[in-house]
Structure 1
Amino acid sequence: MIDRRGFLKLTALGGGAVFMSGLYGRAGAATGKAVPGYDDFYFVQLSDTHWGYSGDANPEAANTLKQAVATVNGLQVQPDFIVFTGDLTHTTDDPQERRKRMREFREIVAGLKVQTLHFMPGEHDAALDNGTAFKEHFGQTHYTFDHKGVHFIVLDNVSDPGSRIGEAQMDWLRTDLAHQAHDARIVVFTHRPLFDLAPKWDWATRDGDQALALMMPHSNVTVFYGHIHQEHHQMTGHIAHHAAKSLIFPLPAPGSQEKRTPLPWDPSAPGKGLGFREVEAEPKVGEYKIAEFPVNRT
């Protein structure tokens, strides 16, 4: 079991590190022992690695993902699992190059000590071929899994080039949620935000309101996403949404300029805008304490 001091050893990492606190009943609170089935654990979230990118926004793009792998491997206590929330690779019109980048990405992350890895696509991985190449290399684009009392849902809002989840997946989500208790601990992973953050920048999901409506009857839902390359926190009713920073380059604040061009690279501060996130949670009451740290924190 990891404590807060051990957790804070997670440094020099872009993306998010998420600490899920155990759920304690009255007996557990009195004795300090976790109720069976609700063990403390934490996982690491990495987002928007854009393997294959080459440009001025990150002249060190060939090293950033490898540095993140080394950092995670150096953790004193390894996470239970790692989730990659999309844009694993940078977009290309060449199907062969797309697959080459995916193979290279897999080879790099195969160096992680943690054996349980969960992948989901971003639009750079899936929009040009409806997720065909992604499925060849990483499996399904939407799925669920359960871990120590928490139900995780991975949604695909990128394989449809129209930025939609789609009717078939929406029916699948409806069926899955129907099997969950109203107070179940549910964590949702998406790439794009499910709410309208900046639609003109493609920072939205066209039918995301339908997905949120399906989640709304459940009292303990939290959404982690990527895509916007920066820290951002939003509430839609009682559902909290938290964006992860990127592993490649930061983007401007939502709607702050005409185009969503990357922030300029600063050679004196190469980790500026990249970072990791700590989330310490009491899922029973749906409260989350979040702290963001820069990449080059010492």
Structure 2
Amino acid sequence: MKTHDTGRRQALGCLSAWSGAAVVWTLSGGIPVALGATHTATPQAGAKGALTFVQISDTHIGFNKAANPDVVGSLRHAIADINALPVAPAFAVHTGDVSHLSRADEFGRAKEIFQELHVDRIHTVPGEHDAIDDGIAGYLKYFDHDGKGRGWYSFNQGGVHFVGLTNVLNFKAGTMAALGDDQLAWLKKDLAGVSHSTPIVVLAHIPLWTIWEPWGWGTADSDQALALLRPYGSVTVLNGHIHQVLQKVEGHVSLHTAMSLAYPLPAPGQEGIGEPGPVTVPAGELGKLLGTRQLNLVRGQRELAMVDRPLDR
């Protein structure tokens, strides 16, 4: 993808900022559990054989407007919470929009700060803010996880198969982006060697279900990807992009969006909003709106047991 849309760059650069929270995930016996970054780990998180990792999203490094001139500080606050967890996570995942305007200095700064996390490594997927002007070429100079020069990859850890997808290459405001035929073919081949009893965790920036089509909050060919995933007994899909927590469960597939570490966006389809923009709140109210969520996802059950905990409570 190649674009010189100056108006889009300026529009992305003018977004207001907000600070959010990280999400901590643990998998034990194929059962993923999400723990808020400031929540004391449950016994299951430290159980023998459990795999604990953290999720952050939408850090937008490079943003410097008045609503939050210190997005680096917001990220470091989340990192401090993660590093203070009683059960150290094995690694971190970042579900897109690492940078604000996909500039080399923003990617470099982000990678430098990520090294402050007390984890072995961080696995990322690109967001649309990471794909301005030259597609994801600039992003891949810093975050090419398998050295193959593409935005999708997979890895195995702790008995879990992880898949990182890219669904922002053809991003255009107000339209549905897509994974594309090449990536879907790769996904089919990648999953072919994975046992149906193996837990699957999928990372992608834009949600893999249609939340609000007029805003482009969905992936046009997500049904094809989900069809490949449905035979597996436990599938957890982690997304960012919409800067708020929503979830959907379809059989053994659970899909979750995450809060941003930069700014909130309006609720899907909010009346009077033609195109989603940042929601600003009084500084004293931020802590009441930031929070953590514990989710217990049990393979084969449709209902999720949830506990939400605001940071200021």
TM-score, with length taken from structure 2: 0.78
Using the alignment, how far apart are the partners of 2:54 and 2:308 within structure 1? 13
1:50 pairs, out of 56, 60, 68, with 60
* Residue 110 (1) aligns with residue 115 (2): yes
Q: CA deviation at 1:285?
A: 6.4
Q: Which moved more, 1:240-249 or 1:57-66?
A: 57-66
| Structure 2 residue 225 is the aligned partner of structure 1 residue 211 | yes
Task: Answer whether contact 1:13 1:276 (CA < 8 A) is retained.
Answer: no
The alpha-carbon deviation at position 237 of structure 1 amounts to: 4.7
Task: Verify the 8 A CA contact 2:30 2:234 in the aligned structure 1.
Answer: no
Which residue matches 1:77? 87
1:271 and 2:287 equivalent? yes
Deviations 1:39-93 (A, max 9, x none): 112111001111111234434434101111222122222111111111111125x
Q: Deviations over 1:130-186 (max 9, x none)?
A: 210111001142111111111111111113336211111111001111112223211
Residues 277/42 of structure 1: CA separation in 2 closer, same or farther (3 Å cut):
farther
- 63-72 vs 53-62, which deviates more? 53-62
CA drift at 1:112? 1.4
**Counterparts of residues 67-216 of structure 1 (less than 5 Å):** 67-91=77-101, 98-140=103-145, 141-161=151-171, 163-216=177-230
CA distance 1:289–1:143, change in 2 (3 Å): farther
- Return the offset for 1:194: 1.1
Instruction: Please say if residues 51 and 105 of structure 1, whose CA atoms lie closer than 8 Å, have aligned partners that are also in contact.
Output: yes
| TM-score scaled by length of structure 1 | 0.82
Q: Which residue of 2 aligns with 1:7?
A: none
Q: Could you tell me whether the CA contact under 8 Å between 1:15 and 1:277 is conserved in 2? A: no
Residues 215 and 221, structure 1, Cα contact 8 Å, conserved in 2: yes
Tell me the amino acid that sits aligned with residue 103 of structure 1: G
Aligned to 1:8: none
CA distance in 2 between partners of 1:129 and 1:273 (Å):
35
Give me the CA root mean square deviation. 2.5
Q: 1:75 to 1:220 in 2, by over 3 A?
A: closer
| SS of structure 2 residue aligned to 1:55 | coil
1:250 and 1:274 in contact (8 A); partners too? no
Q: CA deviation at 1:99?
A: 0.5
1:194/1:75 Cα in 2 relative to 1: closer, same or farther (>3 Å)?
Answer: same
Aligned length: 269
Would you say the 8 A contact 2:237–2:253 is kept in 1? yes
5+ residue gaps, structure 2, are 1-18, 32-43, 146-150
Q: Is 1:235 equivalent to 2:276 in the alignment?
A: no
Q: Percent identity?
A: 38
AA in 2 matched with 1:79:
P
Which of structure 1's runs of 4+ aligned residues deviate more than 6 A?
284-287
How has the CA–CA distance of structure 1 residues 127 and 195 changed in structure 2, closer, same or farther, with 3 Å as cutoff?
Answer: farther
Return the alpha-carbon distance in structure 2 between the equivalents of residues 244 and 191 of structure 1: 10
Q: Give the letter aligned to residue 73 of structure 1.
A: N
User: 1:22 maps to what in 2?
Assistant: 29
Q: Distance in 1 between matches of 2:166 and 2:94?
A: 13
User: What is the CA–CA distance in structure 1 between the aligned matches of 2:30 and 2:217, rounded to whole Å?
Assistant: 33
Q: Does the CA contact (< 8 Å) of 1:127 and 1:160 recur in 2? A: no
Question: Which amino acid in structure 2 is aligned with residue 191 of structure 1?
Answer: H
What secondary structure sits across from 1:170 in the alignment?
A: helix
Offset of 1:229 from its aligned partner?
0.6
